[in-house]
């Protein structure tokens, strides 16, 4: 389905290049995609077609962007147990379970969160991110549990995407990590870029990449005879780069438990993760990362709203076992 998205230029965007302005508004598109849309005569300012990506916009301009939807495979709706933390006419906040992929992709056509959302909401989700990702504004990894905001309308989607792009949405995660971070509380600031050997991974770079900032706070250090020290830490994101927390914690020598991509799994294999609760072994077979808190400005009111999801059950069992030990 083709669609036109309208933007009203405010004083803060006066005299910006058109392509730069649209990049800030349509974070789901790359700069090259935006350039193609402009050069294809699909962008107008005050109803006049624009032919140059470098054209300057003025406060008070009305920018219309026509986006031609690419044909995509039909995504089937699936009945699924989805925990809804909050819902109103503009957005949904989901507490995603570990093991669920957010949207369909290569090797994951079914069983994704999107399949479940389509069953619950049918066509009542935004389509700004394409037919294969209805309502999806941002993602968390398959093995990560916790909060995810979903847009019902295109207006809400564009508003939330802009908040993510400006890094004004506050997100806090809980992670179980190997070792103890020194100092116990602090900030990690690096550049992150694609790993040169494996493009699916991210890595810290000294010269190239995007700036990534993670604030951390150690909540508890667990000491047991059977295993090395393990810490429970809270990570607050100032930026939201791909795999940011995982890469940052591994970079400082404290990878997340069961992180098969960034170092945590090999350590787990070297030391059995066990607890003495009811004489049973405590087995954790997923990334020990949970998106606990989400704070944003509601698209309809611009008022701050905050959502919290308690630590997932499987991670809570592990923490409880360590405390009892």
Q: Which residues are catalytic?
A: 141
CA distance 14 to 18: 10
What is the DSSP code string of 24-41? Answer: HH-TTS-HHHHHHHHHTT
CA nearest to 172, candidates 219, 222, 215 = 215
Cα torsion through 51, 56, 58, 63, rounded to 10:
30
Report the SS3 class of residue 116: helix
CA nearest to 100, candidates 142, 150, 148 = 142
Please enumerate, as own/partner, the contacts of 52-57 that have beta carbons within 8 Å and a separation of 24 or more. Answer: 52/18, 53/17, 53/18, 53/19, 54/17, 54/18, 54/19, 55/17, 55/18, 56/15, 56/16, 56/17, 56/18, 57/9, 57/13, 57/14, 57/15, 57/16, 57/17, 57/18, 57/21
CA nearest to 96, candidates 128, 141, 133, 152 = 141
8 Å CB contact between 203 and 226: no
- Detail the DSSP E strand segments found in 249-315: 289-297, 304-308
Residue with tokens 């930026």: 239
Structure token digits, residue 77:
């709706």
């Amino acid at each position: 389905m083709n669609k036109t998205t309208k933007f009203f230029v405010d004083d803060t965007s006066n005299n910006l290049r058109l392509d730069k302005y649209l990049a800030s508004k349509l974070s789901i598109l790359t700069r090259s995609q935006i350039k193609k849309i402009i050069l294809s005569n699909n962008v107008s300012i005050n109803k006049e077609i624009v032919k140059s990506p470098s054209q300057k916009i003025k406060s008070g301009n009305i920018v219309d962007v026509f986006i031609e939807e690419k044909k995509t495979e039909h995504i089937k709706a699936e009945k699924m147990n989805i925990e809804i933390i909050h819902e109103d006419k503009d957005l949904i906040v989901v507490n995603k379970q570990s093991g669920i992929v957010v949207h369909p992709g290569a090797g994951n056509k079914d069983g994704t969160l999107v399949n479940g959302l389509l069953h619950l909401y049918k066509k009542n989700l935004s389509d700004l991110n394409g037919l294969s990702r209805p309502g999806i504004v941002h993602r968390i990894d398959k093995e990560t549990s916790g909060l995810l905001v979903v847009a019902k309308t295109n207006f809400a989607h564009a508003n939330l995407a802009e908040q993510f792009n400006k890094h004004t949405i506050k997100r806090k995660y809980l992670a179980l990590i190997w070792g103890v971070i020194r100092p116990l509380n602090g900030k990690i600031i690096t550049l992150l870029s694609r790993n040169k050997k494996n493009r699916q991974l991210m890595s810290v770079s000294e010269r190239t990449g995007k700036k990534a900032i993670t604030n951390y706070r150690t909540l508890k250090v667990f000491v047991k005879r059977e295993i090395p020290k393990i810490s429970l830490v809270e990570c607050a994101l100032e930026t939201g780069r791909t795999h940011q927390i995982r890469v940052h914690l591994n970079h400082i020598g404290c990878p997340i438990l069961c992180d098969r991509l960034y170092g945590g799994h090999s350590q787990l294999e070297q030391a059995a993760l066990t607890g003495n609760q009811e004489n049973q072994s405590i087995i954790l077979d997923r990334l020990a990362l949970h998106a606990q808190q989400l704070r944003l400005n509601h698209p309809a009111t611009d008022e701050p709203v905050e959502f919290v999801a308690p630590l997932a059950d499987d991670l809570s069992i592990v923490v409880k076992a360590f405390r009892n030990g």
